A = this chain, B = another copy of it.
Amino acid sequence: MGVMERVATRTKKAAAKAVVAPVVPLEADRLIQGDCVAEMRKLPDACIDMIFADPPYNLQLGGDLFRPEGGRVDAVDDAWDKFDTLAVYDKFTRDWLTEARRILKPNGTIWVIGSYHNIFRVGTSLQDQGFWILNDIIWRKSNPMPNFKGTRFTNAHETLIWASQGEDARYTFNYRAMKTLNDELQMRSDWVIPICSGQERLKRDGTKAHPTQKPEALLYRILLACTKPGDVVLDPFFGTGTTGAVAKRLGRRWIGIEREDKYVEVALERIEAALPLDESALTTMQSPRQQPKVAFGTLVETGMIAPGTVLSDTKRRWKAVVRADGSLQCGDESGSIHGLGAKLQGAPSCNGWTFWHVDGKDGLKPIDTLRQTYLLANED
């Protein structure tokens, strides 16, 4: 069964449910104590906007979390045990991803972080289940732990996978906010962020409260990039609640699932202390795509551009006359600002707003500036 088919089925099911019973608003901003798969099973279909998951990965570290029941492992069984451990880990991954996929909205996205011990298993499982990978992101640690024995390269990064429910999903990506955050350059797939230390690192009785606490800066960027204010973010491996703390700060709602008493206690205390940003600080730069649309014809109608005005490109290679209906004419050719621009250049497409200019005292300026003026004057 294809991916989109599954999404469609789920949507239909959710719609049918809505007819039978009134939609109950999802209870958010809460920590659920329990096993992540069992607790996700209790959540309704398609109720989550984004999932951030930091699953355990003690594969090559000799951990016992996924070791099958049985007697002591000796040297002879070592390789067999390893293979079996992989299979057990894969099943664990499939199980929680299956539930994650069910409760995630059709246009929601999932983030998973891991290291080379587990990230290849996770990525494969994501693809096998029909998730569509959008990016793999490298968290490059500015201050990693050195390799003390000099036996390998310093393990200085972790990998995150960002995926949608399928190829055609319309996911949230706040492109402009990311570009602004990165000094007006596109945000790249490699992020330099310090590890969590100093004041930010939570302590209990003088020692670190959690072995793998993630820096808030990491979650900050993820939530700012891929959610809108008010969205519901789920973290099935909540730990000390970095996801919840940042979500609260950024005006997103959150649900955390965590099994261990000691982490639950630390997380609740921490999130209680987190301060939400006020609304004006939460405003981010918007892509034109997200702004209200203005037709070129509206500018003509409202008199901002008079019919008969001559437009040209930056190099004044072409001139066109504005007609009463907002179309342009250049010799025998005519069309919309976009269509004529494309036709004249022989290009497959053209953004007329930036291509065409009006002559003013300060030289040529793109007609897009007139649109911006119009938008400012007509804000509601």
A interface residues with partner B (beta carbon < 8 Å): 2-5, 60, 66, 68, 70, 76-80, 82-83, 86, 115-117, 119-124, 126-128, 130, 132-138, 140, 142-144, 146-147, 150-157, 159, 161-162, 166-167, 173-184, 186-190, 192-194, 200, 215-217, 220-221, 224-225, 250, 277-278, 280-285, 287, 295-298, 300-303, 306-308, 321-327, 329, 332, 334-336, 338-339, 345, 347-351, 376-380
Contacts and interface: CB of A to CB of B under 8 A. Distances in A.
A281 B334 CA distance: 12
Nearest to A284: B325
Nearest to A378: B142
A133 B179 CA distance: 35
A324 B281 contact: yes
A250 B323 CA distance: 11
Contacts of A297: 180-183
Nearest to A81: B2
Nearest to A215: B302
A184 B339 contact: yes
Contact of A301 (B4, B193, B282, B308): B193
A188 B345 contact: no
A347 B66 CA distance: 10
B322 A281 contact: yes
A178 B190 contact: no
A324 B224 contact: yes
Contact of A78 (B4, B181, B250, B282): B4
Contact of A280 (B82, B190, B323): B323
Contacts of A120: 119-120, 122-124, 126-127, 161
A154 B188 contact: yes
Nearest to A229: B324
Given A2-B77, A284-B323, 10 more contacts: A86-B128, A135-B155, A153-B225, A154-B187, A177-B325, A180-B325, A181-B297, A277-B306, A280-B321, A281-B322
Give the 10 A-B residue pairs with the shortest CB-CB distance, closest first: A120-B123, A181-B297, A2-B79, A3-B79, A70-B347, A281-B307, A177-B325, A156-B188, A281-B308, A116-B136
